[in-house]
Amino acid sequence: MPPSLNPYQKAKIRVTAKRSQVQQFFYAAGDLVAFAGRFFKEVVKPPYEWREIFYQCYLVGYKSTFLIGLTGFIMGAVLTIQTRPSMAQFGAISLIPGMISVSVVREIGPVITAIICCGKVGSRMGAELGSMKVTEQIDAMEVSAINPFRYLVVTRTLATILMVPLLTIFSDIIALFGGYLAMNIHDTMTLRHFFVAGLEHLEFIDIFPAIIKTFFFGFVVGLIGCYKGYNARRGTESVGIAANSAVVASSLAVFVIDMLAAQITDLFI
């Protein structure tokens, strides 16, 4: 029988455990910053792995278009259907295209696209690199004098940096189209009229920060996905953990960046 603990000892154990969790969080954050630092160091060094970069762009971009398009369509349609009754009460139905376009372009399009990429791309990268780590493929590259960081991490992160903004633009356009179709369930509006009415409410300050932040979204999706996979421990269980934690951590990072972007944009309005 283990000796029973007094309340002070129990409290001490709880505090130590909490402290350990906090320490681990900061260790992980520091490690991720070092990982990002290595990315910036390696990304400027030639030779570039063009073949792998294009292949990853294909996987991240082309392979995600259906999912992103469908999500965008539903997003635009639902937004229109949900807001129409309220707008109708104020006789402001003609403002729906403008409202939809500003919401989609400024906020919903970039964030939803990034979150979808966290789930689809980040988890894939976490699982793929985690599996490569577990089966010693990364070590095999290392001992073959092939820099695995440059071949695996730099190429994938560059692909997400390049593709997430493009996917966001694609998603925005499809969302507006979804909004147009939803608008025509109860009302009649031509496609041209919907897009003209929508776009005339958009200003530079709506579009520019929204596009810029998607590069950062792409960066964290790729980097965190690769980080989790690259640092997976030995054992098959760690592959699942890497994929899962890649989604959780990159989704959280997307929201944090979105909040910072909103604050920074607010300074210029």
Partner 1 sequence: MSEKFNDTEPQASPEDIHEEGTAQRGIHQAEENSSDTYHPVDDDDDNPSEVPATEEERVAHNESQEPVIVIRGLKKAFKDHEVLRGVDVEVKKGENLVVLGKSGSGKSVLIKCLVGLECPDEGEITVLGQDVSTLKYDELNALRVRTGFLFQNAALYDSMTVRENLAFPLRKHKKTMTAEKKEAAIMEMLENVGLEDSIDQMPSKLSGGQSKRIGLARTLILRPEIMLYDEPTTGLDTGTSKEISELMVRMKQKYNISSITITHDMPCARLTADRIIMMKEGVVVAEGTYEELEKSEDEWVKSFFH
Residues forming the site for partner 1 (CB under 8 A): 128, 131-132, 135-137, 139-140, 142-147
What is the nearest approach in angstroms of partner 1 to the Cβ of residue 151? 9
Compare residues 47 and 85 and give the one whose CB is closer to partner 1.
47
Tokens of 198: 């929508």
Count the neighbouring beta carbons within 10 Å of the beta carbon of residue 99.
Answer: 17
What is the nearest approach in angstroms of partner 1 to the Cβ of residue 258? 33
Compare residues 146 and 205 and give the one whose CB is closer to partner 1.
146
What is the nearest approach in angstroms of partner 1 to the Cβ of residue 65? 21
Compare residues 6 and 144 and give the one whose CB is closer to partner 1.
144
What is the rounded CA–CA span in Å between residue 99 and residue 221?
Answer: 28
Tokens of 107: 């906020």
Compare residues 55 and 195 and give the one whose CB is closer to partner 1.
55
Compare residues 155 and 168 and give the one whose CB is closer to partner 1.
155
What is the nearest approach in angstroms of partner 1 to the Cβ of residue 231? 15
What is the nearest approach in angstroms of partner 1 to the Cβ of residue 128? 8
What is the nearest approach in angstroms of partner 1 to the Cβ of residue 142? 6
Q: Which residue has the tokens 């944090």?
A: 256
Torsion of CA 146, 147, 152, 155, to 10 degrees: -110
Compare residues 44 and 269 and give the one whose CB is closer to partner 1.
44
